[in-house]
């Protein structure tokens, strides 16, 4: 199914998938998916549990091979593993926290190769925690570290999976504000997987809604909540449109 959403970024499309079929071995859990991200826009990928959001991100990041379809990067086919895509400017924050718990905040940031200063500029909170072991940070601080490390590299596109998972609303607001700042300042394009539609719409420019492995609707985030709530209600599942 092809669902078109207005482009809101500042330039031409950076990352795009066309007719993407993705899954595990021969098992396709994402079908016929068209999505795109341009520099300078935040695009929310919404949908209930099991809709295929993480599978989509893992495939775009190069951690799962596509079953069919095409992924392009700046207009040319994108292949290769995550580390090669990272060198080209594709960042990925997976659902599970990816900081190294036994290492200090400083060393975690150095591992990210974006440097310490740009990360602390985005999250001054990290400045006083540089010598602390990441495992001793709160969940919110760990997620700040993860996001700071990813953004400090100035990716052209960042794929972010459920940044808000298990975090207090005030921390999620802080993470999303920093994300918005970085997008505005550096023209990063973001594909943001989120369960909480309302929050995702607040930070994003446009959205796709997935259900059972397919994109079923898309639109501009401004004023999009009503349509998304209607679609969830139509599916007798309003739990995530909150």
Residue 94 is a binding residue for ligand ATP (CB under 6 A): no
* Strand spans (E) along 38-186: 42-46, 68-73, 76-77, 90-93, 157-161
Nearer to ligand ATP, 33 or 122 (CB): 33
Residue 199 is a binding residue for ligand ATP (CB under 6 A): no
Backbone angles phi, psi at 91, to 5 degrees: -100, 155
Q: Please report how close the Cβ of residue 50 comes to ligand ATP at its closest, in angstroms.
A: 4
Residue 31 is a binding residue for ligand ATP (CB under 6 A): no
Nearer to ligand ATP, 96 or 226 (CB): 96
Q: Please report how close the Cβ of residue 237 comes to ligand ATP at its closest, in angstroms.
A: 12
Q: Please report how close the Cβ of residue 82 comes to ligand ATP at its closest, in angstroms.
A: 16
Q: Please report how close the Cβ of residue 81 comes to ligand ATP at its closest, in angstroms.
A: 18
122-161 binders of ligand ATP (CB under 6 A): none
| Pairing verdict, β 206-211 and 68-73 | unpaired
3-state class (DSSP) for residue 210: strand
Residue 54 is a binding residue for ligand ATP (CB under 6 A): yes
Q: What is the largest CA-CA distance in the chain?
A: 51
Nearer to ligand ATP, 55 or 108 (CB): 55
Contact 158, 189 (CB under 8 A): yes
**Residue 130 and residue 108: Cα distance in Å, rounded?**
9
Helix and strand tally (H, E) in the chain? 8, 10
Nearer to ligand ATP, 50 or 139 (CB): 50
Residue 53 is a binding residue for ligand ATP (CB under 6 A): yes
Binding residues with ligand ATP: total (CB under 6 A): 12
Nearer to ligand ATP, 28 or 220 (CB): 28
Q: Is the dihedral of CA 132, 136, 140, 144 positive or negative?
A: positive
Nearer to ligand ATP, 164 or 195 (CB): 195
Closest CA to 200 of 43, 94, 56: 43
Using the 8-state DSSP alphabet, how is residue 184 labeled? Answer: H
Residue 49 is a binding residue for ligand ATP (CB under 6 A): yes
Provide the binding-site residues for ligand ATP, judged by CB under 6 A. 24, 27, 29, 47, 49-55, 195
């Amino acid at each position: 199914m092809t669902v078109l959403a207005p482009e809101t970024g500042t330039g031409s499309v950076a990352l795009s998938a066309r007719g993407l079929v993705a899954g595990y071995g021969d098992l396709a859990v994402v079908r016929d998916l068209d999505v795109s991200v341009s520099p300078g826009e935040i695009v929310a990928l919404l949908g209930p549990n099991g809709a295929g959001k993480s599978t989509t991100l893992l495939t775009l990041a190069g951690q799962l091979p596509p079953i069919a379809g095409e992924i392009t990067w700046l207009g040319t086919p994108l292949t290769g593993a995550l580390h090669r895509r990272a060198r080209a400017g594709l960042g990925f924050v997976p659902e599970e926290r990816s900081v190294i718990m036994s290492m200090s905040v400083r060393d975690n940031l150095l591992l990210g190769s974006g440097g310490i200063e740009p990360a602390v500029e985005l999250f001054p909170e990290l400045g006083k925690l540089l010598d602390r072991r990441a495992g001793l940070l709160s969940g919110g601080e760990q997620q700040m570290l993860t996001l700071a490390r990813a953004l400090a590299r100035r990716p052209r596109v960042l794929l972010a999976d459920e940044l808000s998972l298990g975090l207090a609303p005030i921390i999620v607001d802080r993470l999303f504000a920093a994300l918005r700042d970085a997008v505005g300042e550096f023209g990063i394009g973001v594909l943001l997987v989120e369960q909480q539609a309302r929050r995702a719409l607040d930070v994003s420019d446009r959205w796709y809604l997935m259900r059972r492995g397919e994109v079923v609707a898309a639109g501009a985030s401004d004023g999009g909540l009503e349509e998304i709530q209607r679609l969830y209600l139509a599916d007798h599942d309003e739990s995530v449109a909150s």
